[in-house]
Amino acid sequence: MEKNATSALLAHLATVPDPRIARHRGHKLGDILVIAVCAVLCGAESYPAIEDCGYEREGWLRQFLELPAGIPAHDTFNRVLQLLDPEAFQACFLG
């Protein structure tokens, strides 16, 4: 994926509202969503597989994601993705 395409994906996913309490935002929502989307496109079918995919491609991901707290743990992917408003996420994807 080219850097411009990835930046566009990150900008587009930024429209999804962050459901987390401010003090529980160690990872940026955009980083979590980009990693999750890319991992699922690469065949990940579980939260541990999404985490593994993030670690396997961390060097590449750091080219366009800030990752201030590193790659999120599978529990973080689970918790954040479960909290997302499904209609807002679907609208973002369909857009």
| Apex 24 CA angle, 22 and 26, nearest 5 | 105
What's the pLDDT tens digit per position in 32-83? 999 999 999 999 999 999 999 999 999 999 998 999 999 999 999 999 999 9
Query: Residue 51's closest CA among 8, 93, 61?
Result: 61
pTM of the model: 0.90
- What is the model's pLDDT at position 3? 60
